[in-house]
Every structure is written in structure tokens, then in C-alpha cells.
Amino acid sequence: MLPPLSNDQIKARYNAALHLLNTGKTDQARIALEQLNALRPGTAEVLFQLSRIAHMDGDHAARAGYLAQALQVKPDEPTLIEAQIAAQTALSDHEAVLALYDHLIALDPKSIAHKADKGSYLQRIGHFDQAEALFRKLIKKHPDQGSLYRVFLGGIKLPAKDPMMRSMIRALADPRLTDHNRMHLSFALAKAAEDQGETAKVFGHLNRANRIQRKLAPFDRAARSAETDAFLHAQEAADYTPVDAEMPLRPVFVTGMPRSGTTLVEQIIAAHSGVTGGGELAHALSLIVRGFATTTGITALSAIPDTRLAQLAQDYAALARRDTGAATGVITDKSIQNYLIYGYLHRAMPGARFIVVHRDPRDIALSIYKNYFALGRHTYANDLSDIAFMIKEFRRVIAHWKTRLPGVIHEIHYDHLVADPEPQARALIAAAGLEWEDGCLDFHKAKGTVKTLSLHQVRQPIYRGSAQAWRKYETELAPFIAAWGDEPWD
């Protein structure tokens, strides 16, 4: 019998396994870590690294299992708890997730973030009453935290006489309020005013909120146009035929401007029994930038060997499997900026489908301007004329791809979909390469979490409530309408 390994030997083996993992040698790392786990069962660090590998494989159950073992050893380690929250969220085990949030809160009762995250999760799983109770209690203790009001109002319509209104108005008048909190609070007040039918007050709050956010994160039109042109120029090619390669997953890319209806379209497709919804996976563009960017730009599509394009597809599939748990079949990906790289995606991914969602630009503009986006994302969203510019840029790029990829892109108009759902949905499912299922119009019955600004809408059947909403604010949208000019609306 071999003598047991010393602590130093165990540590050396662990560091070697970690190096293998961090340099992409996942299979070798797995073997080394499993051997360590057999030699020293119950080592939290080893179990955590095995959970990372299970995550890469898209095996959420195994990931959760390893983390559960690690938490038996270190039950109060926040990193393990947060990783388990992510794993159990992927498994839609809502009770487990909420219990883990409660554990985090108990470990740090003064933390606002953990309580707010729990409230946000309650909203995403449709437990709006519980979320409301939590947020009201939290806001009472922290009335100057503007983001709490904004997130809270994302899951509720606040009556005019609700005491929360007085709290928000009082907080807004406080000269000590930071710009960041004033911005969030202003978005919340705009939402409350609209819910209460006080449309004359809405844009006063929105203009304040967007003015602050624009100051914190300015938008550069020239830089954005130059970036777009660079991507399109790099993808000019004589041949866009997909490479001859096998892909374990077939992606359906759903693209549109923010607030154009991409969530609704993705939910319809993802309701199909053969589809796994991916949401905004955000992998394709980053893989292309990391793989093909150079000091002078980005490698031309025509200069990329088929083998590298095939590897791009495999890398994307691995990340998509990690995030969705799907090893085969169809997945949806509604990452906003994928429209910039249709050439790369079409060449690299045989069988990929491309869906473009359109909506009345005035409704898009209004919805974008009303909503908060994380600082640094969609920086054009804080100015109505910049929003007009970006919608035109989007249309320009789609027109570009329609000439180069004829017959590849399926376009769907949000207003047409909500006005006459079934024929539009049938055409959509066919464009995704799928057979029709009646359940595709029952997407609102899904029990999973919701990762969208439209928390209530995706839990309801298709409705027309937001169509032509811009008409209530035609005067306030004058800067957008002027910037749009004579270009057709449709």
C-alpha cells in the first residue's frame, strides 16, 4: 500500500490540476481532480473546481451536486453559496434558490444587495406579492437607495395614494441624493406616473434620469458607425456558403433592437418541445472578437480557414451547452449585437437560422427611453436623436445582409405578430426549421425564471397593450421624430 500523500503533495497536485483547467485542458483537469477527490474526499476547493467543469459541460445537476458537497464542508462560504444559487437557478429549483438567498442574508444581515437580489428573483419567478413585501420592508430601511424603487416598480403598478409615492418624492427632493440614486429614482417615478395615467409627468422624470445617465456614460456616434463599418467590411466575401462541419447544437439567432419584441419571439420559439431557450448568451460576438481581432482591425472572413470557422462553431456550442444544459437540438440566442456578425455566423454554423424582429420605431424609441440599461450598455438610449440614429444603423445593417445572404433572414414585425398571432407564429416556427406545435402560443405558461425587462408580459398570452403606445407621447417624442426625418416608419 502506498503511503498517504502529504499536505504539500496534495497542494502541488491541486495546483497542477488548476493549471490544466485554466489552460483549457479540461479532460485532464477532470481526471486529476477526481483522483484528488478520491484521495481526500470532502475537500471544498477540489469539489468547487469539479463543479466548474460540470458547468462547462452544461451538466447543471452535477454542478449542483459538487457544490452541495462543498457546502457541507464550508456551509458559510459566500462564493460557494453564490455558485450554488446560479446552479439551482439553472435547474429552476426555486425553493433551493430562495433558501440559499436566505442563508446569504443571514450571514450578512446588513447587506442590501443580497435582499434586493432575492426580491428580484422572486419577481423573475412570478412571486410578485412576496417580492413586494420584501422590497417595501427594504425601502423603508433604505429610502435613499434609488435602485430599490426602480427594481421594485418593475414588478408592480403603484397606486397614486400609495405611501411609497411620498417616499420617492421626498427622496428626490433631498439635495444629498447622489446622481446615481437620483437617476434610478427618476426611472421609478416615470414608471409610477405612467401606471397611474399621469402621462404629463412621465417625460419630466425620464428626461432627468436619461440626462444623468448620459453624463455618466456618453455615446459616440462616429465611433459606433466606424465599428459597424469595420465589421461589415471584414465580412465582405465572394462565398458565404456554410462550412462542411457538424454542430451538436443548432442555433436560432433572434435579433432586433432592444424593446422591439425579441423576447416575445424567442419565447414562442422556445416553447417548442425541441428547443431550449438561451436568452442573451452573448458568446458569438465575444468569440469572434477574441479569435479574429488584430491590432489593425478584425480578420477578414474570406481569409479565415474553414477549420478555424468550424472551431468557432464548436467553441460557441460548448459555451451554449454550458449555459443552457442542452447538448443537442435547437437553442435560441437573442444576443442584441449578433446582427453585426451574420456573415461569420452563417459561414461557421451550418443549419443556423436568423430571425430579425421589427417594430414601429416610435414604439421602440419610447420603450428604450423609458427603461434603465446597465451603465455602459446601450449608451445611445439616453438621447432620443441618438436612438433614431441607432435604429437607422440597425436597419442599414439588416439591409446589407439581405443583399448578401438572400433568403437566409426571416423578418417578423411585432405589430403584425400581436395583431394576428397564429399565422405569424407558424411562419416563425417554420423559419426556425421546426414543425408547428400548438404549445408555441402557450409560452406564458412556462415556469422558469424570466430574464427580461418585461416581467409581467412574458407571463401573459400575447397582447396588444404596447402597440402604438407612442401616440400618448407624440409631443414629447418630437426630438426623435425630427431626427428620424423622412425615412419610412415601416
Say what the pLDDT of residue 149 is: 97
- In a domain, residue 174? The reply is yes
| High-pLDDT (> 70) share of the chain, % | 95
Say what the pLDDT of residue 465 is: 58
Say what the pLDDT of residue 249 is: 93
Say what the pLDDT of residue 464 is: 61
Last residue of some domain: 216, 249, 268? 216
Residues 172 and 250 in one domain: no
Residues 420 and 363 in one domain: yes
Residues 295 and 442 in one domain: yes
Residues 246 and 308 in one domain: yes
Residues 189 and 284 in one domain: no
CATH number for the domain harbouring residue 4: 1.25.40.10
Residue 367, H or E segment: helix 361-370
Say what the pLDDT of residue 459 is: 47
List C-alpha distances in Å: 408 to 1, 256, 280, 352, 457: 64, 16, 21, 9, 30
- In a domain, residue 204? The reply is yes
- In a domain, residue 357? The reply is yes
Q: Report which DSSP code applies to 455.
A: T
d(CA 59, CA 68): 14
CATH number for the domain harbouring residue 267: 3.40.50.300
Say what the pLDDT of residue 487 is: 87
**Residues facing 413 on adjacent strands:** 358
- In a domain, residue 490? The reply is no
- In a domain, residue 365? The reply is yes
d(CA 478, CA 106): 50
Say what the pLDDT of residue 79 is: 97
Residues 240 and 345 in one domain: yes
- In a domain, residue 409? The reply is yes
Last residue of some domain: 182, 216, 250? 216
Q: Report which DSSP code applies to 471.
A: G
Residues 174 and 277 in one domain: no
Low-confidence ranges of the chain (pLDDT < 70): 1-3, 446-466
Say what the pLDDT of residue 227 is: 95
**How many structural domains comprise the chain?**
3
Residues 79 and 129 in one domain: no
Residues 394 and 350 in one domain: yes
Residues 371 and 347 in one domain: yes
Query: In terms of residue numbers, what domain contains 208?
Result: 119-216
Say what the pLDDT of residue 152 is: 96
Say what the pLDDT of residue 449 is: 55
Residues 211 and 283 in one domain: no
Distance of CA 393 to the CA centre of its chain: 21
Residues 31 and 125 in one domain: no
Q: Report which DSSP code applies to 283.
A: -
The model's pLDDT over 104-118, given as tens digits with 9 standing for 90+, comes to 999 999 999 999 999
- In a domain, residue 322? The reply is yes
- In a domain, residue 240? The reply is yes
Say what the pLDDT of residue 454 is: 53
d(CA 291, CA 265): 30
Last residue of some domain: 168, 183, 216? 216
d(CA 4, CA 68): 26
